[in-house]
Amino acid sequence: MSDERDTGHDHRHAHDHDHDGEGQDPPSDLALRVKALESLLVEKGLVDAAALDAIIDTYEHKVGPRNGARVVARAWTDAAYRQRLLTDATAAIAELGFGGRQGEHMIAVENTPRIHNLVVCTLCSCYPWPVLGLPPVWYKSSPYRSRAVIDPRGVLAEFGLEIGEDVEVRVWDSTAEVRYLVVPERPAGSEHLAEEALAALVTRDSMIGVGRAVPAPEAPRL
């Protein structure tokens, strides 16, 4: 059975599934095929190698998931910002200076003790580059894209994330029009941490929904 809710955008739906499915491993790394395609495009003069390297360097090393982690950490520490993020994620993210191509229309969804959110793109690999950097290989794989909707609990278990039966799993389908950012639950015992330290606990996987934030270190003893 499924519980599907129309959230007001075409192809934007939250699904609640609880079916047992057979596990499938993601395909092997696509790096060699990507490199071959890059070489072919450069050889034919369709792509400038230096410009391509600069773009990849920006998203891989300067953006990565750090921007998204800062957004989440701010939401954890600033209730007013959190509300703005959940109301209009695009504008709230822009407040911190992040935005642009692949992040024009953002929606933030929040994990709670009773709701766990998972993001997928069933049609291709739409992904919020300005806040999460380059998408991981598994996010673009056919098994993840299909099974995240059909058997989300099974997929999460394969990532080492067990979700209780009393927790609703909502699957959000990204499109070319809208992309999602999961705000993971703030780790217990993190009250003593400043915003920068909190950002270090936020992982890319937790902002996609296949993981949780890193546990907080113990507070120093006085």
pTM higher than 0.75 for the full model? no
Task: Please give the structure tokens belonging to residue 126.
Answer: 């739409």
Q: Which of these is catalytic: 2, 28, 39, 124?
A: 124
How much of the chain, in percent, has pLDDT values that exceed 90? Answer: 57
Q: Which of these is catalytic: 126, 141, 190, 206?
A: 126
Residue with tokens 């003069």: 45
> Which residue has better confidence, 38 or 214?
214
Which pLDDT belongs to residue 4? 38
Active-site residue flag, 2:
no
Q: Which of these is catalytic: 39, 125, 142, 174?
A: 125
Q: Which domains does the chain have, with CATH numbers?
A: 30-63 (no CATH), 66-216 (3.90.330.10)
Mean pLDDT of 145-171: 97
Torsional class of 129: left (φ above 0), alpha (ψ -120 to 50), beta (otherwise): alpha
Active-site residue flag, 141:
no
**What distance separates the 2 farthest-apart alpha carbons in the chain?**
65
Instruction: Give every CB contact of residue 83 below 8 A, 6+ residues apart in sequence.
Output: none
pLDDT exceeds cutoff 90 at 10: no
Active-site residue flag, 121:
yes
Active-site residue flag, 125:
yes
pLDDT exceeds cutoff 80 at 140: yes
Q: Which of these is catalytic: 121, 141, 174, 206?
A: 121
Which pLDDT belongs to residue 9? 38
Which pLDDT belongs to residue 218? 81
Which pLDDT belongs to residue 59? 58
pLDDT exceeds cutoff 50 at 143: yes
Angle of helix 79-87 relative to helix 66-77, nearest 10 degrees, comes to 120
